């Protein structure tokens, strides 16, 4: 497969040497890889953006999963934000509420855009539509935000993993939060290298995060991990924009994530056999939802 870049070092070098944003390099890479026209590629991403926008709006109206495990938290967060009492600030509250909104739509079997996976689908759009209110981007800039996210996601997918089953939740919400941080930096006027620093800062703080879905459903703790991933994305972007750099280069951080994922026991990689899924409450909820046999707590029977 012919590509312009295969790692972050090459991506940043291309952007800097050609005085182009990372989003533009990713568009050119897509043209090269897919043999489609630039217009076709941008149109597809525009359609993805519309799906994300609709999911955020639907989630903020209040949706609930059929299992009863998740739903309504996006509305609670928006209402709390509007009281003016939030300690973390409106932008972060808005980002986490919209990340939760998207992931609640996913849990309720609605339509979302995997970024990079369904389980982590709230972070990129959640941050995008929150930052939109601060930076007032054009539609084109919002589409570019997705291409920048995609550029870093491309590197992770091809050098490590974006799968919770392969690498734990660090590979899903960790990748999504890092991708979002990089995109925020570009939209805010940062350099390609600062986007890479933001990615690294966030990913380093998601390393080792396990994938332990209660009852095997992409709901608990997935929805709330989308919230925290969005918060870390905003903070990581701010740190990079302030001039903070990662001591460990981005590609080495990605490689470290990959090796950590490989070393995780299978119980902590989406099998629902460890972590929160294996707690008494986690087992009780599984039994309640699926009508399985008596659980360890002794409080639930089939």
**pLDDT tens digit sequence for 64-98:** 999 999 999 999 999 999 999 999 999 999 999 99
Say how far apart CA 4 and CA 219 lie, in whole Å. 37
Domain for residue 230, yes or no? yes
pLDDT at 300 over 60: no
- CATH number, position 228: 1.10.4100
Average pLDDT of the segment spanning 182-203: 99
Average pLDDT of the segment spanning 180-200: 99
Determine if the pTM surpasses 0.75. yes
For 80, the enclosing helix (H) or strand (E) is helix 73-82
Burial of 2 (0-12, 13-18, 19+ CB in 10 A): exposed
Domain for residue 3, yes or no? no
pLDDT at 294 over 90: no
Average pLDDT of the segment spanning 139-143: 98
Say how far apart CA 275 and CA 282 lie, in whole Å. 9
Q: What is the DSSP string of 237-283?
A: HHHHHTT---SS-HHHHHHHHHHHHHHS-GGGBTSSSSGGGGSHHHH
Domain for residue 142, yes or no? yes
Average pLDDT of the segment spanning 114-123: 98
Domain for residue 299, yes or no? no
Domain for residue 296, yes or no? no
Share of the chain above pLDDT 70, in %: 97
Instruction: Write down the pLDDT at residue 1.
Output: 75
Residue 70 structural domain: 8-290
Average pLDDT of the segment spanning 238-249: 98
Domain for residue 72, yes or no? yes
pLDDT at 63 over 80: yes
Domain for residue 160, yes or no? yes
**Number of domain units in the chain:** 1
pLDDT tens per residue across span 21-61? 999 999 999 999 999 999 999 999 999 999 999 999 999 99
Banded pLDDT at 295 (limits 50, 70, 90): very low
Secondary-structure percent of the chain, ordered helix, strand, coil, rounded to 5: 65, 0, 35
Instruction: Write down the pLDDT at residue 184.
Output: 99
Domain for residue 298, yes or no? no
């Amino acid at each position: 497969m012919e590509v312009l870049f295969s790692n972050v070092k090459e991506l940043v070098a291309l952007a800097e040497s050609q005085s182009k944003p990372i989003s533009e390099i990713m568009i050119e890479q897509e043209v090269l890889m897919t043999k489609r026209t630039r217009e076709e590629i941008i149109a597809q991403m525009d359609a993805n953006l519309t799906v994300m926008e609709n999911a955020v709006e639907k989630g903020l109206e209040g949706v609930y999963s059929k299992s009863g495990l998740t739903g309504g938290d996006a509305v609670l967060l928006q209402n709390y934000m509007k009281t003016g009492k939030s300690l973390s600030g409106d932008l972060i509250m808005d980002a986490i509420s919209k990340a939760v909104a998207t992931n609640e739509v996913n849990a309720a079997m609605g339509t979302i855009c995997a970024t990079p996976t369904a389980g982590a689908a709230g972070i990129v759009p959640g941050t995008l539509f929150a930052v939109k209110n601060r930076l007032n981007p054009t539609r084109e800039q919002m589409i570019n935000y997705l291409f920048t996210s995609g550029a870093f996601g491309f590197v992770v997918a091809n050098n490590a993993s974006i799968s919770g089953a392969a690498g734990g939740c660090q590979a899903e919400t960790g990748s999504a939060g890092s991708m979002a941080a990089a995109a925020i930096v570009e939209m805010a006027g940062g350099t390609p290298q600062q986007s890479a620093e933001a990615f690294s800062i966030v990913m380093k703080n998601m390393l080792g995060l396990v994938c332990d879905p209660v009852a095997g459903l992409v709901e608990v703790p997935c929805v709330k991990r989308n919230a925290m991933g969005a918060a870390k994305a905003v903070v990581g972007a701010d740190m990079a924009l302030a001039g903070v750099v990662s001591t460990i280069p981005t590609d080495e951080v990605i490689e470290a994530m990959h090796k950590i994922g490989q070393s995780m026991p299978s119980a902590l990689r989406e099998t629902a056999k460890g972590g929160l899924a294996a707690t008494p409450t986690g087992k009780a909820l599984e039994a309640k939802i699926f009508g399985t046999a008596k659980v360890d707590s002794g409080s639930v029977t089939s």
